[in-house]
Chain A
Amino acid sequence: MNIENKLLKLSSLEGLVLKLNQDGKQVFAPVKKDNIVNFAPVSAFHEMTQDYIVTARSAKFVVFPRVETILEMQFSKDNITLKDKDLSSIPDAVLLGTRPCDAAGFKVLTSIFEGDYIDNIYVTRLKKTTIISISCNNYDAKCFCTSVNVHPGGTAGSDILLTRIDNDNFLAEIVTEKGKEIVNKFDTLFDIAPDVNKDSLVANVPVEFDLSAILGKIYPRFESDIWVEQSLRCIGCGTCAYVCPTCGCFDIQDVSDGHNGQRKRSWDSCGFDLFTLHSSGHNPRNTQSKRWRQRILHKFVYVPEQDNILGCVGCGRCSRACSVDMNLKEHLINLIGELTK
């Protein structure tokens, strides 16, 4: 659909959040707690903070929860019954205040969870979630969205994109039918859009490296020492994957008390030794450097080749969360340096 422009007053957001809640939708927005900003359910707009570059953790948990029951089981004396997940019990949700990189991140997750085996749990959650992003007018040294083809005012992945025009007003771009539904339902909150130059309203994040210098060129360096070199200080904690908006790797485990049980899918990370450990004790990725290589190659080689989409949206979360300062942007620039040597 063609993008339609509207005006949304800051003062109308209070009403919007209220009405969305009344409409039975769970609204998630960035909330500041102990000086850390993360997505949390809000019942009123004022609970949301405006003071954030990106949240510490990504918003992926709304569509890909850290633990999800994928089916249930019941055991009786001589019978086992499997119960499918009730997809209709998945609540409608609205994500308010995602950044364009967050929204773009959902596209990557979708490419993983769709494909030739469609994960209906993920698909349903996403379908039931409306993503109302807010363009960035600020950025920090860890952001590198523009270097990976994501734009701080980009609409990809959002249903509605809000861009701040001035203190009191947002430009609202209605990107999808889902976004339009919200606008139609609460049309009194939206006005006719003014004529503005959106580009002048969003942050000017500099491009810091040439992506084409990496794509297609790092895979041949699979055996290079650079992976060991770069990952010496990595302690293999896996945090980078847990905060990343595009990491979709998971584990499947059963939990049961002998009468009832659940099969659960939970977040996992290629940074862990256990991720690939066979029961024989053999491990194809038995060192941290091999696991670091997997992380980079998965995002910049494997995902792009399989799904025709880059596996990283440049939000910088991994680098902010890493307790030993593994800075992804810096490592990518360093990689380019090595590749062009």
Chain B
Amino acid sequence: MNEQNIYMPYLMRIETVRDEAPFVKTFRLKFINEEILNRFTFKTGQFGEYSAIGEGESTFCIASSPTLKGYIECTFRQTGKVTNALAMKGEDDVIGFRGPYGNFFPIHEWKNKNLLFIAGGIALPPLRSVIWNCLDLRNDYKDVTIIYGAKTVDELIYKHELKTWDERSDVKLVTTVDPGNETPEWKGKIGFVPTVLDEVAPSSENTVAIVCGPPIMIKYTFPVLEKLGFTSENIFTTLENRMKCGFGKCGRCNVGKVFVCKDGPVFTYKQLKELPQEY
């Protein structure tokens, strides 16, 4: 990090822009400064503060795997001032980045286990990072199952990668869209993520579940996982609270005693159960 000024972002050049879904884009970003480019490391699950310089900063996770060197990626949905300003940027434009901040998924502790990833809507980015990280260390893990759902077919992001995962024999991918939103060509499942999870009923034996999605999906997914026999310390998720600084100073992201930016964003369901409902 910049030793002088903790608020000073690194400048990054946008290498590619990919439209993922309506109002959702992925940037591939490269540090302009060579030294930082070579020095920068992060762990899967961490996030950063991305700035549309002159407009402000926004919090996104790093959506690429730490095993990829030379660039990072972020995927964001246009929801407000900064994200709209970022969406105006194109290839070769410069944006700011501070980070990485926060804790990470303890993937080394998952060695020799089955992995079950469950994501809903725009919440796939943090999971995409950890999925690729684990796939790049494929021999360390047993079965890998991904359940991913969105409201509509259009809103499924990373379509290209979904295809890659689908084609891999060492990954089981289940995609689903909300009832009524299936298109004639749709070959995946139809139903809400928790329902589909219940249907697929993956074994909880020697398995960790990693869940990311809108609060409502999370709320209904946890009970299904518990029904399937997952213990709360084997269920992981990430929290999103409004953030400004990213390092525990601006005072807004706490859930009770815990600062999401420093102690999170990755939490186990067990930890969440002990926290008050402030997220």
Interface residues of A (CB under 8 A from B): 70-71, 73, 75, 79-80, 82, 84-85, 87, 112-113, 115-121, 219, 222-223, 248-254, 256, 258, 261, 263, 265, 268, 270, 275-280, 282, 284-285, 290, 294, 297-298, 301-302, 305
Let me know if B256 and A219 touch, CB within 8 A. Answer: yes
> Quick one: given A82-B11, A279-B79, A301-B257, are A254 and B51 in contact (CB under 8 Å)?
yes
Q: How many residues of B are counted as interface, with CB atoms below 8 angstroms from the partner's CB atoms?
A: 40
Identify A261's interface contact among B54, B242, B245, CB under 8 A. B54
- Cβ distance B248 to chain A, nearest Cβ, rounded Å: 7
Could you list 6 examples of A-B contacts with CB < 8 Å? A116-B248, A119-B6, A270-B252, A278-B242, A284-B241, A284-B277
Distance A279 CA – B242 CA, assembled complex (angstroms): 9
- Cβ distance B86 to chain A, nearest Cβ, rounded Å: 13
- Cβ distance A126 to chain B, nearest Cβ, rounded Å: 15
> Quick one: given A119-B249, A278-B242, are A254 and B278 in contact (CB under 8 Å)?
no
Distance A248 CA – B249 CA, assembled complex (angstroms): 8
Distance A11 CA – B188 CA, assembled complex (angstroms): 87
Q: Which residues of B contact A87 (CB under 8 A)?
A: 4
- The B contact surface, by secondary structure, is loop
Let me know if B56 and A82 touch, CB within 8 A. Answer: no
The answer to the question of B94 belonging to the interface, with a C-beta cut-off of 8 Å to chain A, is: yes
Distance A120 CA – B278 CA, assembled complex (angstroms): 31
Let me know if B256 and A222 touch, CB within 8 A. Answer: yes
- Cβ distance B233 to chain A, nearest Cβ, rounded Å: 22
User: CB-CB contacts of B73-117 with A at 8 A, as 1s and 0s?
Assistant: 000000110010000000000101000000000000000000000
The answer to the question of B226 belonging to the interface, with a C-beta cut-off of 8 Å to chain A, is: no
> Quick one: given A251-B244, A284-B241, A301-B257, are A117 and B5 in contact (CB under 8 Å)?
no
Q: Which residues of B contact A116 (CB under 8 A)?
A: 247-248
Let me know if A276 and B241 touch, CB within 8 A. Answer: yes
> Quick one: given A254-B51, A302-B254, are A84 and B5 in contact (CB under 8 Å)?
yes
Distance A305 CA – B263 CA, assembled complex (angstroms): 14
Distance A290 CA – B252 CA, assembled complex (angstroms): 13
Interface residues of B (CB under 8 A from A): 1, 4-9, 11, 51, 53-57, 79-80, 83, 94, 96, 215, 240-242, 244-245, 247-257, 276-279
> Quick one: given A119-B6, A121-B5, are A252 and B245 in contact (CB under 8 Å)?
yes
Distance A117 CA – B2 CA, assembled complex (angstroms): 10
Let me know if B245 and A120 touch, CB within 8 A. Answer: no
Q: Which residues of A contact B96 (CB under 8 A)?
A: 82
> Quick one: given A73-B53, A254-B55, A284-B255, are A84 and B249 in contact (CB under 8 Å)?
no
> Quick one: given A251-B244, A261-B53, A261-B54, are A85 and B251 in contact (CB under 8 Å)?
no
- Cβ distance B61 to chain A, nearest Cβ, rounded Å: 15
Let me know if B55 and A84 touch, CB within 8 A. Answer: no
Closest to A114 in B: B249
Let me know if B241 and A254 touch, CB within 8 A. Answer: no
Let me know if A120 and B6 touch, CB within 8 A. Answer: yes
Let me know if A279 and B53 touch, CB within 8 A. Answer: no
Distance A144 CA – B6 CA, assembled complex (angstroms): 36
- Cβ distance B258 to chain A, nearest Cβ, rounded Å: 9
Distance A270 CA – B279 CA, assembled complex (angstroms): 15
Q: Which residues of B contact A284 (CB under 8 A)?
A: 241, 255, 277-279
Closest to B214 in A: A280
Q: Which residues of A contact B256 (CB under 8 A)?
A: 219, 222, 297
Distance A115 CA – B46 CA, assembled complex (angstroms): 20
Distance A118 CA – B276 CA, assembled complex (angstroms): 29
Let me know if A249 and B252 touch, CB within 8 A. Answer: yes
Closest to A301 in B: B257
Q: Which residues of B contact A253 (CB under 8 A)?
A: 56
Identify B249's interface contact among A85, A250, A294, CB under 8 A. A250
> Quick one: given A219-B257, A252-B57, A301-B257, are A120 and B4 in contact (CB under 8 Å)?
yes
Let me know if A249 and B251 touch, CB within 8 A. Answer: yes
